[in-house]
Amino acid sequence: MTPLIKTLGYEIDTACIATHHQPAVLVEFALSREVDSRQLLRSTRIQLEEFRLAEKRISPDQYLTLISNCRKLVNADDTSFLYGQRLWPGCFGAASQALQLVSNLRQAIEIICDFHAILSPLFTPRFYANEQELFIFWQDATGSDEQQQFLIEAHMTAFISMVSWLSKEKMPWNFEFTYSEPTYIEQYWVNLGQDLAFNQQMNCMRLPIEFLDKPWPNASQISIHGALKETHKQLLSLHSPQSFIDQLYDYIQTHIRQPLNLEKVSAAFGISPASMKRKLKKHHTTFQQQIDLARKNTAIYLFQVKHFNNQQIAEYLRFNDMNNYRRAFKRWTGLSPYTLF
Amino acid sequence: MKKRAFLQTCYSYGLAIAIGIGVMIISVWGDLKPTVEISWLDVFSEGGMVILALFWLGLLLRSRPAGRVTQLLALGLCAIVFSWSMDVVDEFIRMPSTLIWHNWLESLPIPIALVLLSIGIYHWHQEEIAISAQMVKRERYFREHRLFDKLIPVGGAAYLKKLLKLSLAESKKLQQPLALIAIDLDNFNMINRLYGPEESDHILQLICQLLVLNLRDEDLICRLAGDRFVVLLHNTSEHEAQQMSMDLQNAVASFAYRTRQHHQRVYLSATVVTTMARTDDSDSLIKRLNLEISKTRQQPSNAL
C-alpha cells in the first residue's frame, strides 16, 4: 500500500525554525533584562553571531531549551507575556506583512492558522465558530512538555495584543485553560483579561461572533493579496507547512468515524508501527493519547457547533452503547459527559 | 541588577602578598614537617575556614558599592583570612619553640579584624537605617528581596498579597479603614508598539517614581503586573482615598514624558479605581479591585 501522506511534517528535532524569527525575539527580550548571553545560549547549540547572520534554522528542541534557559535566568512571572507582546505581527517576512494589512478578525485568524508553521511553529491554532461565538484553540505541535504553559501564555498574549493593536478596540475575550490557576494570576488579568476559566478541556479563546467580520482601520484589501502570495511562497520554502503531530491529529480527525489502529495509521504515513511509536515517544505522547484527544475535541465541537446531544455524539463516534461512551468520555476528560454537556 | 565585577582587586592582591610574605617568614625560620606528622583533619578544617572566609569576602566585594562601610568590612575579612591561612601553614611547618613572635602572625590579626568588622557592622547598621528611610513608601513590616519586582524597584504582586494579609489583620484590630487604589495606564499596548519595549519599560519606571512622590509616608505602592500599580492606604477614609486617587490620576496626566531617542512627547493617562477593605480576604480584595478596573475601562467615557 502506498502511503497517503507524502512528506512527513517537522518533528521536535527537525531544523525548521529560522533563528532570526521567534528565537531572536526571545533572545532580545532576555538581553534587555541583562541576562548573560553565554548562559542564555547554554546547551542550545546556537551562537550569538547566528542571530546576525540570519541564515541558520534550529529545531523546536533547541528553541525549547532556549525558552527554558530564558525562564530560569530572567526569573520573572511576566516573561511569557512580555515575549508574547513582542511576537506578532513581528518581522517574519511576508507573513508579518500580511498580518499588518488584515481588514478584519476573520482574516487575521486565517493567516495565523494557515501560516502557523511560520508564525507559531510550536503551537498550532485551530479555529471554528457557531452562531453566537468563535473559538480559537491552541494545540501543542511538537511536544513542548514543560514549556507548554509558557507557550500558551505567550501565544494567547501575542494574539490578543496584536488584535487590540490592529483593531484599536477592546474585545470581550473569554479564556479557558487546561491547567489549574497559577499563583501569578494578576499577569493574566492585566495581559489577557478578567474572564478566565481554569481546569477546562481545551486551551481556548472565545469571542462573540459579531466581532469576526467587523472592519478594522488601516486595512488594505488590495495590497494584502501580494503579501499573501509571498507568504505562500515562504511556506513552500519551509521543511513542511505542518508538524508531524499536526498531521497525525488531522488524519485521525478526518477518519474519526472509522476503526483506527496503530498499524493502519502507520501504513497511511508510510512508516512502520515501531517507528510511529518511536516518533510519538519523542514528542512525549502515545497513539492512544492522540486518538483520545481527537475524539474529545470532536465531541466538544459537535456539542458546541452542531448542538448534538450525548446520544448523537456517541452515534457519530460509533459507540455501540452509551455505557462505553460514558466510560471513554470519562477517560478523555475526567468528567462524565452529562456534567459537561 | 548586574553583579559588580571584581573592581576592588587591590584587596585580593594585598591579601595574596601578605599571605606570601607570611609563608616566606615562617618557612625561613621553621622547617618542613614530615608527612606522617601532619594532622590532615586540622588541615581540612582550618583550610575550610579559609575558603569560607574568602567566599564571604568575594560576596561582599561583588555585591556592595565601594565606600567606607565596604572598606572596613573587607579589611576585617582580609585580616581574618590572613590569620586563618597562617594557621593552615602552621600545620605543614614546625617552628622552633624558642621563637615567641611567630604566634603573633596567627593571633595578632584576629583582634584587629574583629575591631574593624565591628566598626564596619556598626556603620552598616546606620546605612541600613538610612536606606530604610528611603524605602518607606515601598515596603512595610518586612523585607523580602526575592519578592521585589525585577524591572521596577517596588514590591511585586506576591509582596502585595503577603502585605495585604498583615494590613487587613492590623486594620481589623485597630478598627481603622483600609483603602486600596489601583492605577492602570491607558493604552499601554499602543505605547509599547509605537515607541518600543525599551521606552515603555522606562516609562513604567518613571511613572512608578512619580506615583511614589505623590504618596504619604504611611502609604505603600506595589506593581501588580504590567502597567498596573496598587497603592495601599492605611487608616484612610473612602473620601480621602477618592481625593488621593484623583491626585494620582492628575499626576499621571500632567507628566510630560519625552522619548529618549527622538524627544517625542508621549501623552499618558490612567484609569484609577478606589476600593475599601471590608469583609473580604486579601485575594478576593485584589480580585475585586481588578474587576472594577475592567468595568471602568468598558464604560464609554474611558473608550479610545
* Partner-chain residue, chosen from B151, B156, B226, that has the shortest CB–CB distance to A190: B226
Q: Which three cell numbers stand for residue B79?
A: 585580616
The three-class DSSP label of residue A17 is strand
Task: Establish if A169 touches chain B: CB-CB under 8 angstroms.
Answer: yes
**Between A235 and B5, whose confidence is greater?**
A235
* Partner-chain residue, chosen from A78, A161, A189, that has the shortest CB–CB distance to B189: A161
- pLDDT band (50, 70, 90) for residue B240: very high
* Partner-chain residue, chosen from B156, B184, B197, that has the shortest CB–CB distance to A32: B197
Pairing of the two strands B178-185 and B228-234? antiparallel
d(CA A161, CA B193): 10
Asked whether the beta carbons of residue B290 and residue A170 sit closer than 8 angstroms, the reply is no
Pairing of the two strands A174-176 and A196-197? parallel
Least confident piece of the model among A102-116, B127-141, B216-230: B127-141
- The H or E element containing residue B270 is strand B270-276
A236 conformational bin, left if phi > 0, alpha if psi -120 to 50, beta if neither:
alpha
- pLDDT band (50, 70, 90) for residue B2: very low
Asked whether the beta carbons of residue A32 and residue B286 sit closer than 8 angstroms, the reply is no
Radius of gyration of chain A from its Cα atoms, rounded to whole angstroms = 20
In angstroms, the separation between the Cα of residue B73 and the nearest Cα of chain A is 28
B102-131 tens-digit pLDDT: 677 778 888 999 999 999 999 999 888 888
User: Cell match 519551509: residue?
Assistant: A238
Q: Which amino acid is at B76?
A: G
Q: Which three cell numbers stand for residue B142?
A: 518586612
Q: How far apart are the first and last CA of chain A?
A: 41
Strands (E), A209-293: none
Number of Cβ within 10 Å of residue A93's Cβ equals 18
Asked whether the beta carbons of residue A85 and residue B197 sit closer than 8 angstroms, the reply is yes
In angstroms, the separation between the Cα of residue A175 and the nearest Cα of chain B is 15
* Partner-chain residue, chosen from A78, A85, A190, that has the shortest CB–CB distance to B192: A85
* Partner-chain residue, chosen from B190, B198, B304, that has the shortest CB–CB distance to A32: B198
Q: Name A10's bridge partners.
A: A243
Q: CA nearest B22: which of B109, B115, B96?
A: B109
What is the per-residue burial (b if ≥16 Cβ within 10 Å, else e) of B196-209? ebebbbbbbeebbe
Contact present, A173 and A206 (Cβ < 8 Å): yes
Average pLDDT over residues B14-39: 84
Residue A208's φ and ψ, nearest 5 degrees, are -55, 140
pLDDT score of A121: 95
pTM more than 0.95: no
Q: Which amino acid is at B111?
A: P
Q: For residue A218, is pLDDT > 80?
A: no
In angstroms, the separation between the Cα of residue B114 and the nearest Cα of chain A is 37
- Quote the distance between the C-alpha of residue B22 and its chain's center: 38
How many angstroms separate the most distant Cα atoms in chain B?
Answer: 95
In angstroms, the separation between the Cα of residue A232 and the nearest Cα of chain B is 27
pLDDT score of B1: 38
- Quote the distance between the C-alpha of residue B173 and its chain's center: 31
Residue A181's φ and ψ, nearest 5 degrees, are -60, 125
Contact present, B150 and A76 (Cβ < 8 Å): yes
d(CA B221, CA B208): 8
A44-87 tens-digit pLDDT: 999 998 888 888 899 999 999 999 999 999 998 999 999 999 99
Q: Name B178's bridge partners.
A: B234
pLDDT score of B133: 79
A272 conformational bin, left if phi > 0, alpha if psi -120 to 50, beta if neither:
beta
Asked whether the beta carbons of residue B197 and residue A186 sit closer than 8 angstroms, the reply is no
In angstroms, the separation between the Cα of residue A34 and the nearest Cα of chain B is 7
Q: Name B94's bridge partners.
A: B31
- As a whole number, the mean pLDDT across chain A is 93
Task: Establish if A312 touches chain B: CB-CB under 8 angstroms.
Answer: no
Q: For residue B148, is pLDDT > 80?
A: no
pLDDT score of B3: 44
Q: CA nearest A239: which of A3, A5, A9?
A: A9
The answer to whether the complex's ipTM is over 0.90 is no
Residue B34's φ and ψ, nearest 5 degrees, are -65, 155
